Amino acid sequence: MMWLSLALRNIVANRRRSMLALAAIAAAAVAMMLFADYVNAIRVGLRHTTIHDGLGHMRAAARGGFDAYEEKQLQHGMTPAQYAALEKAAGSEPAVRRIVPGLSFQGLVSNGPRTLSFSGSGVDPVLESAAFSASHDIVKGAPLNASAPDDGVVLGTELAHRLGVEPGQTVTLLTSTVSGAINASDVQVVGLESTGSPERDLHLLRARLPLVQSLLATDRVSSVALLLDDDADVDAVQRRLAAALPQLELRNWLQLAPYYTQVLGLYENLFRIFGLFILVVSLLGLTTIILTSVLERSREIGVMRALGISAWHVRRAFVLEGLVLCVIGVAAGMLVAAGLGEGINALRITMPPPPGQTEGYPLRVLWDWQATAGIATVVLLLGIAAAWMASGRVTRLKVIDALGAL
């Protein structure tokens, strides 16, 4: 306790150096904490978008339905009996909130003079709107919901632009049935949707599930999305459903969206590089400040040594002083980082669109207590290391030389 009191007195007595050290520590903590909070916001936002953009927490399909080669459409589709078994098994899982069937198909869409290819999906508007209510950005017209006409379709903005059609106009869908025959139907465009990706918008088409099944002459679906109440239940639910439904394949959202881990890996690597750079600069700065303090207090050290205090105890005093500075600096850094984070979120800054996108995204930071605790620990260790390195001169300082400065 005496040494802690002495460390606090030295910090107060040397205000200028203490303020410089505190500023360096707080700046390092703020920079790393804000970047960690930004990465956390990217992680949470990307996970929410991936899951609630129509993918779900997991998807179920018949064997071969995910990646097997199909000579005909829905060759590996899920039959009504398989869907009923999945519905029953999912109903016995309290963690499963909703199941949403979907049907993927390809074909041609024409307005008469122009014909383009599309990659479409058949959906149940009621189930989809309840599960993925914020997943579709309708820029013109109406969404594909319960009040939309049975023959209504939603087109991607780029596909509609290339065709030159607007909501309310009629287009013709041409596709092949599950038996390989050609089938066509006139449908009404009810809305135009933008995903933010011109490539996706060029081929996007969404229609009611019964309409698509009628076009393909089938009663099957491609896959079924499952929404859970809690992200933490995904692995457990997947294991139980896979055991109960051996005729189906189940893949969670991480298996279906590998880009999630790739994007996070990129940001985490950037954080490591950025953090290492900040730590090295902070270590050099702190070492210089503490070393200056040691040199300026040579006479004080000489008196302590002359009174019989060992070099180890003197060195420990400097290390304790550095630790106290780091504790105060980290606490101040946390407060500043929290305040800056709230300010950044309140400003609603929009970042430029990422590559391949046409729409920007809001700049947000989300407090990450785990990362904050890790950063605080690293900064505290940094202060101890800086104080230990700088005070190493104490063990080599001769008492007569130190007293000679009096």
**Mean pLDDT score of the chain:** 84
pLDDT score of 402 more than 60:
no
3 state SS of 37:
helix
Which residues lie below 8 Å from residue 190, measured CB to CB, with a gap of 6+?
141, 142, 143, 144, 148, 149, 152, 153, 154, 167, 168
39 or 224: whose pLDDT is higher?
Answer: 224
Q: What percent of the chain has pLDDT over 70?
A: 86
Tokens of 369: 């207590």
pLDDT score recorded for residue 356:
57
What's the CA gap between 108 and 320, in Å, rounded?
74
Measured CA angle at 49 (ends 46, 55), to 5 deg: 120
**Location of structure tokens 């049975």:** 150
Kindly list the distances between the CA atom of residue 147 and the CA atoms of 129, 134, 136, in Å, as whole numbers in the listed order: 12, 17, 16
**Location of structure tokens 């993927």:** 104
**pLDDT tier at 406, thresholds 50, 70, 90:** very low
Q: Choose among 43, 59, 46: nearest CA to 253.
A: 59
pLDDT score of 262 more than 90:
no
pLDDT score of 328 more than 70:
yes
Please state the rounded mean pLDDT for residues 81-105: 92
Q: Quick one: CA dihedral 312, 385, 329, 292, positive or negative?
A: positive
**Location of structure tokens 């400003």:** 347
Q: How many residues does the chain have?
A: 406
Please state the rounded mean pLDDT for residues 8-24: 73
**pLDDT tier at 358, thresholds 50, 70, 90:** low
180 or 336: whose pLDDT is higher?
Answer: 336
CB contact at 8 A, 369 and 311 = no
Kindly list the distances between the CA atom of residue 352 and the CA atoms of 96, 361, 362, in Å, as whole numbers in the listed order: 36, 7, 9
CB contact at 8 A, 33 and 378 = no
**pLDDT tier at 11, thresholds 50, 70, 90:** low
Radius of gyration for the alpha carbons in the chain, expressed in angstroms and rounded:
32
Please state the rounded mean pLDDT for residues 373-398: 76
**pLDDT tier at 189, thresholds 50, 70, 90:** very high
pLDDT score of 225 more than 60:
yes
Highest mean pLDDT of the ranges 5-14, 35-44, 388-397: 35-44
The domain limits of the chain are: 1-51+260-404, 56-256
Span 336-355, pLDDT tens digits: 999 999 998 888 888 776 66
pLDDT score recorded for residue 5:
65
160 or 70: whose pLDDT is higher?
Answer: 160
Q: What percent of the chain has pLDDT over 90?
A: 36
pLDDT score recorded for residue 2:
58
pLDDT score recorded for residue 160:
95
CB contact at 8 A, 210 and 101 = no
**pLDDT tier at 101, thresholds 50, 70, 90:** very high
What's the CA gap between 49 and 195, in Å, rounded?
12
CB contact at 8 A, 212 and 168 = no
- The string over 247-265, giving b where at least 16 C-beta atoms fall within 10 Å of a residue's C-beta and e elsewhere, is ebbbbbbbebbeebeebee
Which residues lie below 8 Å from residue 83, measured CB to CB, with a gap of 6+?
101, 221, 224
Strand 170-176 and strand 182-194: pairing?
A: antiparallel
What's the CA gap between 24 and 399, in Å, rounded?
32
Span 73-85, pLDDT tens digits: 888 899 999 999 9
Span 107-149, pLDDT tens digits: 999 998 899 999 999 999 888 887 875 556 788 998 888 788 8
pLDDT score recorded for residue 183:
93
pTM of the model: 0.76
Reported as type and span, the H/E element at residue 13 is: helix 2-13
150 or 171: whose pLDDT is higher?
Answer: 171
Quickly list H helices, 132-233: 157-163, 198-201, 209-216
- HEC letters along 49-62: HHHHHHHCCEEEEE
